[in-house]
Amino acid sequence: MSFLETVRFDDPLLNLAMVLVCGIVGGEICGLLRLPKVTGWIGTGILLRAMSLPGLDGEALQRFTPFMNFVLGYIAFTVGAALYFANLRNAGKRLSLLLLGEAIVTPIVVGLLLIYVGGMEMRPAILLAAIAIAGAPGTTVLVVQEARARGILTSTLIAAVALIDMVAVGMFVFVSSFLHVDNNFFEALGYVGFQVGTSFVIGASCASLALVLNRTIAGPAFLGPLMVAVILGSWGAAVGFGVSGILACSFAGITVTNLRHETVRSAEAYLHNIGGVLFALFFTLAGMRLDFSQVPAAFSLVVLYFFARLSGKYLSAFTALGVAGVPSRVRNYFGLALLPHGGVAVGLILLVQSEPHLQGVQEIVTTVGLAALAINQLLGPSAARIALTRVGEDHKDRPRLLDFLQEQRIVVDLKGNSREEVIKSLANHLYATTKLPVPQKQFVEMVMEREAEVTTCMGEGLMIPHTILKEGEEVKGVLGISTEGLDLKAPDNRPVHAVLLLATPESERSRHLEVLAAFATAITRDVNLREQLYHARSAAHAYNILHADDTAELNYFLEDVMERTRD
């Protein structure tokens, strides 16, 4: 026996190294061609499978299942961490309608087209319909960052893709269970309830334990490793209880971000350092699971699935946002921004392969699902970027005067019979969305003391109560709007329609004065702006009015002011 005959090439670590290097090369080649790197990773995986290298055949890929599960857990955790409830105030209606549309419209459109146009059997069609709901939070966030986007579409999109993935998992669990329990609707629904409830308990428990350890025993330097332990523990415990690891890790992320929101950035920064390695390996291995020899025969189904998903996404988003009263330019392009398809979809496809009761449909679901996903990865990021550009939200992340007035800090239908009632109401909203260095009761007393000295009613329906805080780093505030007008005994005897409550640290006095001057000047001089703002239908509508490009006098870029000052 020769030396070469004794050499083995099937060691898992060696195989992972081969996959990683090949994936990196493929991704960089796609990057040079101005294509998403993930497309190169998937394409490299397809090529590696076709080459039938030692240790990288179909059966050998099962050895990497724990790694694939960890990356799926990492993706799910970051999805959940994006759901900080304080930032979702005022967005509840449109997010609820979006989720309802994604849970009903998208799978119905996809399923019906696959069955009646593509001639596909019902079992694989409804599985692919459930998988079609999933989005791509990681890809979407990357596109938003590259576009430097900010606005209603951007904020809604970031929150929506995270929630939509959870809906996709829930719908997939329901469909998979429905097919497993002899098409019994109520048993499948009960199984979904068990899955969601148990996953929540597992994820929340793991996250809470990690936060307690971080406060008591482990120092800040171990926050990142603790979050890795949360992902591993949530997924492992979920497997032990027979529930979804994706849901458990999602709930863990939600728990962390809402209990100690400041820890999320530190944890994500730690995980981001290894994110490139994880994703390059994950998507290359996912590509290796695609039997490309089956794609030509299923090409028409792949194309149909892609356009069916796009149609379902667009129709559900357009309808939901129309009912929610979202501005038309956001409504018209939101469905296009939902096109990216990512990691959770891959995970659901892999789950199809691992379920014994789904034998017979695994090949067609894997082939059509992964091939269509590759197309989405090629076109999806560009589609999302086009949507952000057309809506006018790209390159809007430069610091502006009114950056603190995000949608969640705007209140419509403001009520109150006195200045104190109005200020207390707005202070409740301010403290619900913002952390301040003084107790709320003390803050209200300080504002009222300032109000007692000289009224902050500026005339023309505007009031700007405020106070200066000794601590803090930036101006904080909320805006309340009353279409009917409030009788607050203004000096000009006019009803007050807009109340801007400000909390300014000592170090930001100059910006505080800029906000006061800009708001007072714009409202008193610009009749059109005043009327639009006073009759804003929703917080989103008011946000668009305040942050529109044609309100430059009110919401200019601070860096431009500093540049002019230097000149």
Please state, rounded to an integer, the average pLDDT across all residues of the chain.
80
Residue type, 355: E
Max mean pLDDT among 164-173, 199-208, 364-373 falls in 199-208
| 315 pLDDT above the threshold of 90 | yes
pLDDT of res. 555: 55
pLDDT of res. 274: 74
| 90 pLDDT above the threshold of 70 | no
Contact 132, 308 (CB under 8 A): yes
Please identify, in words, the CATH class of the domain defined by 12-391. mainly alpha
Which tokens go with 312?
Answer: 């379902």
pLDDT tens for residues 429-484? 888 877 888 888 888 888 888 888 888 788 788 888 888 887 767 778 888 888 88
Higher per-residue confidence, 562 vs 133 = 133
Which tokens go with 49?
Answer: 């499978």
Query: For residue 380, what are the contacts with CB-CB under 8 A and spacing of at least 6?
Result: 136, 139, 339, 340, 341
pLDDT of res. 553: 54
Over residues 226-238, mean pLDDT: 91
Pairing mode, strands 476-486 and 410-412:
parallel
CA end-to-end distance (rounded Å), the chain: 81
Task: Give 557's pLDDT tier (boundaries 50, 70, 90).
Answer: very low
Over residues 230-234, mean pLDDT: 93
Residue 53 is classified by DSSP as -
CA distance 239 to 486: 57
Contact 42, 371 (CB under 8 A): no
pLDDT tens for residues 162-176? 788 878 888 887 787
What percentage of residues in the chain have a pLDDT greater than 90?
A: 11
52 φψ region: left (φ > 0), alpha (ψ -120 to 50), beta (else): left
Just give the CATH number of 407-566. Answer: 3.40.930.10
HSE of 385, CA atoms in CB hemisphere, 13 A:
15
pTM above 0.75, yes or no: no
pLDDT of res. 107: 93
| 356 pLDDT above the threshold of 50 | yes
Which tokens go with 416?
Answer: 């109150």
Higher per-residue confidence, 490 vs 399 = 490
Helix (H) / strand (E) element for 347: namely helix 343-354
DSSP secondary structure string, 2-52?
A: -HHHH-----HHHHHHHHHHHHHHHHHHHHHTTS-HHHHHHHHHHHHHHHT
Higher per-residue confidence, 222 vs 290 = 222
Query: For residue 446, what are the contacts with CB-CB under 8 A and spacing of at least 6?
Result: 438, 467
Residue type, 551: T
Task: Give 373's pLDDT tier (boundaries 50, 70, 90).
Answer: confident
Three-class secondary structure of residue 543 per DSSP: helix
Max mean pLDDT among 58-67, 71-80, 136-145, 434-443 falls in 434-443
Residue type, 537: R
Instruction: Delimit the CATH 3.40.930.10 region(s) of the chain.
Output: 407-566
Over residues 25-37, mean pLDDT: 80
Q: How many CB atoms lie within 10 A of CB 250?
A: 30
